[in-house]
Amino acid sequence: MCIRLAPESRFRCAPYPSYEGETMAKKKSQFVCRSCGYETSGWMGKCPSCQEYNTFDEVVEVKSAPSDAKPALRAGWIAERGVSKLSEVSKENEPRFSSGIAELDRILGGGFVEGSMTLVGGDPGIGKSTLLMQVSGTVRTDGEILYVSGEESKSQIKMRADRLGVKRSSIVLCSQTSFEHISELISERHPGLCIIDSIQTLYSEEISSAPGSVSQTREVTAGLLRIAKSLNVPIVLVGHVTKDGAIAGPRIIEHMVDTVLYFEGDGSSSLRMLRATKNRFGSTGELAFFEMTQKGLAGVENASALLLSGRPHMAPGSVITSVVEGSRAVLLEIQALMSPSSYANPQRMTQGLDKGRVSMLLAVLESKCKVGISNMDAYINVVGGMRIDETACDLAVLCAVFSSISSKALRENTMVIGEVGLTGELRPVSDLEKRLADASRLGFTSCVLPGASKSAASRLPVKMDFIYVDKLSEAIDVLFS
Ligand code: TYD
Ligand code: MG
């Protein structure tokens, strides 16, 4: 662990003539990548792990750290010695309290847990501060809400609160970046919820490096974690993201906190998604939907309608599919644009989809349907800024690609669901009922499905025509001939 020597170590007496390495802890220099946390013993210009340039910070480590530098031991919450039988360990009730925002509670697993630490990440301007100010107004706690901002002045925060209609008298504001001051404040006031905007702006006076550097961020997070656990104060941190969308600073921050929430969404639409990528007190599959309005973020019950609003009518390159996120399914549009390439290596640009998976799907389309793609640039986008990891949208991606190449729009009011295998076969998908629940209400009259989903689909009480296909080439024939 990082870093300093305990002040009293200067006065420790050596029992026999000493040399530095014996009485004082051994110092060791390490260089840590600010972007991904990669560690090395020498400075490097380019990180071999994340390929970023000029991201290495020096971190001085002490080999035999003094006891006060070992947060876990000091806090005592995981430092019990001895063992217990699993069956005899009493299940402590995690006392939860609602954030007052239903969509947020859903991804938190029912609300904030006492003494937990939550990290909220996302692009600049996506709505992190807005959401947390709204939470300050609605959270169901009797205690004070301590809102610490290292980025904005009190009057700026007040202006936002006024705009959002937050008037709660138990909110106390603090514009502060010193970790020592903030930790004193938390110990004195013992708030019901503490919000810190943002972790990268805080600095500890005991560490010489700049705010936002690896050692500062790491130590300040560890210090706050100590406070959260020992005083049982729930803390919410805002984290900046790098240009790849990861939380800036070493990955270790994500390991330390209990819950990590990421905002998704693109600047052009008002839809915002909040995803729990880590949750020690709940599931991680869930996605919360919000709309950015004049009065802040409003929870969205029916995200499909919002995701499909404004979609082009009968436009080549646009296909509607359905993806399942946690306990809900949403309909969304996949768009593809294929254009002749002027590069030796044609471009494969994707937004919201895995580039490797899309390249593989393009290869399947090329080889199984005899479509020339190798000299074309491919731009594929999930409209609304959502990230999809599901394979059930494979067929929709390839239909959008084919539609763009052939300049033919898909049949009207038709949606497409199915996973594509390497031999061009279509594989069944799960949760059909959920996927199709919204479809007929939003005007869809037919759906192309893998043949293997026939028995599941035929039992559904949905008023739609199902077109079953077993192969990618059959699907292309049915939809575009
Ligand atoms: P903000 O929460 O400051 O973003 P972050 O903290 O993630 O950087 O949100 C800023 C954006 O939200 C800004 O572009 C204005 C917009 N906004 C609204 O549309 N309505 C509102 O009520 C508020 C407070 C902000
Ligand atoms: Mg902000």
What digits encode the pLDDT tens for the residues 464-478? 899 999 999 999 999
Give the model's pLDDT for residue 244. 62
Q: Whose Cα sits closest to atom 10 in ligand 1?
A: 125
Average pLDDT over residues 328-334: 92
What pLDDT does 26 receive?
53
Cβ atoms of residues 232 and 94 within 8 Å: no
In angstroms, what is the span from residue 239 Cα to ligand 1's centroid? 15
Q: Tell which CATH architecture fits domain 95-301.
A: 3-Layer(aba) Sandwich (3.40)
Q: Which ligand is nearest to the CA of 165?
A: 1
High-pLDDT (> 70) share of the chain, %: 86
Taking CA atoms only, the protein residue closest to ligand 1 atom 14 is: 125
Q: pLDDT value at position 269?
A: 81
| Residue 204, both tokens | 């500890």
DSSP letters, 438-476, are TTTTTT--EEEEEGGGHHHHHT-----EEEEESBHHHHH
User: Is residue 33 very low, low, confident or very high in pLDDT (cuts 50, 70, 90)?
Assistant: confident
Identify the residues whose C-beta falls under 6 Å from ligand 1: 122, 124-130, 160, 163-164, 292, 294-296
pLDDT (tens digit per residue) in 285-318: 788 999 999 999 999 988 898 888 888 888 999 9
Angle of helix 214-231 relative to helix 179-189, nearest 10 degrees, comes to 10
Alpha carbon of 167 to ligand 1 centroid (Å): 18
Q: What is the pLDDT of residue 462?
A: 82
Give per-residue pLDDT as tens, 413-454: 999 999 999 999 999 999 898 898 888 888 899 999 999 998
Whether the per-residue pLDDT at 16 is higher than 80: the answer is no
Ligand positioned closest to the Cα atom of 137: 1
Residue 260 has pLDDT above 90, yes or no: yes
The CA 458 to ligand 2 mean position distance, Å, reads 49
Pocket probe mutation, ligand 1, options 149, 163, 292, 295, max atoms within 8 Å of Cβ: 292
Ligand number, closest to the Cα atom of 197: 2
Distance 197 CA to ligand 1 centre (A): 14
Average pLDDT over residues 41-55: 85
Neighbours of 75 (CB within 10 A): 17
Give the atom of ligand 1 at the shortest distance from the alpha carbon of 132: 2
Distance 229 CA to ligand 2 centre (A): 25
| 210 or 351, which is more confident | 351
- Provide the pLDDT for residue 242: 66
CA of 225 to the centre of ligand 1 (A): 27
- Which of 21, 42, 45 is CA-nearest to residue 30? 42
Q: What is the mean pLDDT of the chain?
A: 85
The edge-to-edge listing of strands for the beta sheet with 259-264 is 171-175, 145-149, 193-197, 235-239, 117-121, 259-264, 271-279, 287-293, 296-299
Span 36-49, mean pLDDT? 84
User: Token pair for residue 377?
Assistant: 């640039």
397, pLDDT greater than 90: yes
Please report the atom of ligand 1 found closest to the CA of residue 130. Answer: 2
CATH of 306-480, one of 3.30.230.10, 1.10.150.530, 3.40.50.300, 3.40.47.10: 3.30.230.10
Of the ligands numbered here, which is closest to the C-alpha atom of 132? 1
Give residue 456's pLDDT.
87
How much distance in Å is there from the Cα of 274 to the middle of ligand 1?
15
CB neighbour burial string for 405-442, b if at least 16 within 10 angstroms, e if fewer = beeebbeebbbbbbbbbeebbbebbebbeebbbbbeee
d(CA 393, CA 323): 7
Per-residue pLDDT of 138-196, as tens digits, reads 999 999 999 999 989 999 999 999 999 999 999 999 999 999 999 999 999 999 999 99
Closest C-alpha to 281, from 301, 253, 261: 261
Q: What is the mean pLDDT of residues 219-241?
A: 92
Which residue is closest in CA terms to ligand 1's atom 12? 127
Q: For the whole model, what pTM was predicted?
A: 0.79
Percent of the chain with pLDDT over 90: 54
In whole angstroms, give the CA distance from residue 344 to residue 146. Answer: 56
Determine the average pLDDT of the residues in 1-15. 40
Res 18 pLDDT > 50: no
Instruction: Write out pLDDT tens, residues 81-138.
Output: 678 788 877 766 668 899 999 999 999 999 999 999 999 998 888 999 999 999 999 9
